[in-house]
Amino acid sequence: MTEKTALGVSSQDLPACPVETTLKLIGNKWEVLVLRDLMPGTKRFGELKQSIGGVSQKVLTAKLREMEASGLVERHVYAEVPPRVEYSLTPLGRSLKPVLDSLEQWGTAYKKKVAATVR
C-alpha cells in the first residue's frame, strides 16, 4: 500500500498486453472525454456534463464512479445547500496526459489533412 491508486486491482486481472491494459481503464469514449475535461483542473458535476456534451446524467455518474474505483478520479463532496460535488484527476489520472496529447495531436493533423483534401 504505497499510495492511493487502485484498490483491489491485482496483476492477474490485467491483460498481458499493455495496450489492452490501458484500454481496460479508458477504453470508453466517455472516459476519455472525462479525462480531457478534467485535465485542466477541477470541475463540478454539472460543468462536466455540459462540457462533455451529449452524455446523460446516468452514464456520466456511472463512468465517474468507475474511474474513481480505478483510482483515476477523485470525488469531493461539499456539505452545502444546494450540494456541490467536485471532480478532479488523481496523480494517476494526470499521468494519462501523454495519451490524451497523442490523441489530440493525431486528430488535429487528420482534420488538417481532410480540410486540405476537400478544397
Q: What angle do CA 65, 1, 31 make, to 5 degrees?
A: 25
| ∠ Cα 79 80 83 (to 5°) | 90
The listed partner (DNA, its own copies, none) that binds 82, CB under 5 to 8 Å by sort, is DNA
Residue 45 as a binder of DNA (CB under 7 A): the answer is yes
Instruction: Mark residues 11-50: x for contact with its own copies by CB under 8 A, - for none.
Output: x--x--xxxxxxx-x-x-x--xx--x--------------
22 binds, among its own copies, DNA, none (CB under 5 to 8 A by kind): its own copies
**d(Cα 100, Cα 107) in Å, to the nearest integer?**
11
For the chain, the C-alpha Rg in angstroms (whole number) is 16
Instruction: Give the DSSP H/E element, type plus range, for residue 86.
Output: strand 84-89
The residues that bridge with 77 in the sheet, in sequence order, are 85
Under the binding rule (CB under 8 A), the answer on residue 69 touching its own copies is: no
Dig out the grid coordinates for 111 from the structure. 482534420
Q: Catalog residues that contact DNA under the rule CB under 7 A.
A: 28-30, 44-47, 54-59, 61, 64-65, 75, 77, 82-85
Q: Catalog residues that contact its own copies under the rule CB under 8 A.
A: 1-3, 5-6, 9-11, 14, 17-23, 25, 27, 29, 32-33, 36, 92, 95-96, 98-111, 113-118
